[in-house]
Structure 1
Amino acid sequence: MTRPVLNRIHHAAIICSDYRRSKHFYTDLLGLTILDENYRADRDSYKLDLALPDGGQVELFSMPGAPKRPSFPEAQGLRHLAFSVSDIDQWVAWLTSHSIEVEPIRVDPYTGMRFTFFKDPDDLPLELYEQAAQ
C-alpha cells in the first residue's frame, strides 16, 4: 500500500483568554479574514474561523477557565505558529508601530532565510518567516 500525501496544514487552533482582544489582534493587526464566527451558548464560548491568503486557517476559541500555558517557550506541545511573509522589515515596522514587541531579526543557519518572533495577546509565540512571493 502506498502512503497517502498530506497536502498542507489546514488550520491551527488557538484558545485565547480575552476573545475581543485576540479577535482584534488577529483580524485588525495581522489582517486575517473572518470566515465564520459562532457563539456556542452551551460552552459560553466563541469560535472564530480566520483565513490566510493561501487557504490555511486559524481557529480562535474562547474557553472560560482554560488553564494558562505551563511554561514559555519550551513547554511540550506546539512550540510556535509561523507565518510566511515576503517582506519581514515591513511587518516588523507595522507591528512595532502598534506597540507589539518584536525580537531582532535573525537568519536561519540552515536555509539562510530571515525570521523573527513576537507574541499574541496571550503570549503565544508567533514567527514571521521571510520567503519570496510565490
Structure 2
Amino acid sequence: MPLAFHHLAIQCADLDRCEHFYREVLGLAVLKRWPREGGGDRSVWLAMGDGEHAGFLALERAEEQPEPHAWRDGRPGLHLVALRIGPAERRGWEDRLEAAGVQVVHRTRWTIYFHDPEGNRIGLTHHPHDL
C-alpha cells in the first residue's frame, strides 16, 4: 500500500476556539469527539476530504499557551497546513475569511495564507491551476 495522508494533529490551548474556527470558518465537519476525564473534549476529529481514504484533522487539547511566531520565522518544524480549493472558489474564500475577521497575511498566484486562532499557518491553495 503506498503512503498517503491519514491525519494531522494540532495541539490547541483553546480547543473550543480552534474547533469553532475550523468548523465555522473553514467548514470542516466533526467526525468524532474524544472525551476527557472531568468533562469536555480531549480531542475533536474533523473531516478532511471525501471518500473512504480521506484523512482528518485532530484538534487536541494542550495544557500550555502557544508561542507567537512570525509568518516566516526560520525555525525548523511544521510550517504550513495547506488545504486544496478550486481556482473559482478563491474569491469566495477571500470574502468568507474577511467576514470572519481572519486576516490574510500573504498571497501568491495560487495560495491565500492566514493563521488559525493559535498562530498556526494555514493556506488555501489551487496550485497548479490558475484563476
TM-score between the two structures when normalised by the length of structure 2: 0.80
Q: After superposition, give the CA deviation of every residue in 1:49-79 in whole Å (9 maximum; x if it has no partner).
A: 11023322100011213x6347434321111
1:103 match: secondary structure: strand
- Pairs aligned (count): 120
Q: Is the 8 A contact 2:83 2:124 kept in 1?
A: yes
Consecutive unaligned residues of structure 2, counting only runs of 5 or more, are none
Identity, % of aligned positions: 27
Partner residue of 2:100? 98
Pair 105,89 (structure 1): closer, same or farther in 2 beyond 3 Å: farther
- Higher-Rg member (1/2): 1
Question: Aligned partners of 2:61, 2:23: CA distance in 1, in Å?
Answer: 15
Equivalent AA in structure 1 for residue 107 of structure 2 = I
1:27 is the counterpart of 2:29: no
1:48 is the counterpart of 2:44: yes
Equivalent AA in structure 2 for residue 106 of structure 1 = T
Runs of 4+ residues deviating >4 angstroms: none
| Aligned pairs (5 A) from 1:1-134 | 5-6=2-3, 8-41=4-37, 46-54=42-50, 55-65=54-64, 68-69=66-67, 71-72=69-70, 73=72, 74-86=74-86, 87-107=89-109, 114-130=110-126
Question: Aligned partners of 1:70, 1:94: CA distance in 2, in Å?
Answer: 25
Consecutive unaligned residues of structure 1, counting only runs of 5 or more, are 108-113
Equivalent AA in structure 2 for residue 102 of structure 1 = V
Q: Is the 8 A contact 2:42 2:61 kept in 1?
A: yes
How large is the RMSD of aligned CA atoms in angstroms? 2.1
Partner residue of 1:110? none
Question: Aligned partners of 1:104, 1:14: CA distance in 2, in Å?
Answer: 22
Q: After superposition, give the CA deviation of every residue in 1:70-127 in whole Å (9 maximum; x if it has no partner).
A: 74343211111000001222111101111100135312xxxxxx11200000010001
TM-score between the two structures when normalised by the length of structure 1: 0.79
Q: Is the 8 A contact 1:84 1:130 kept in 2?
A: yes
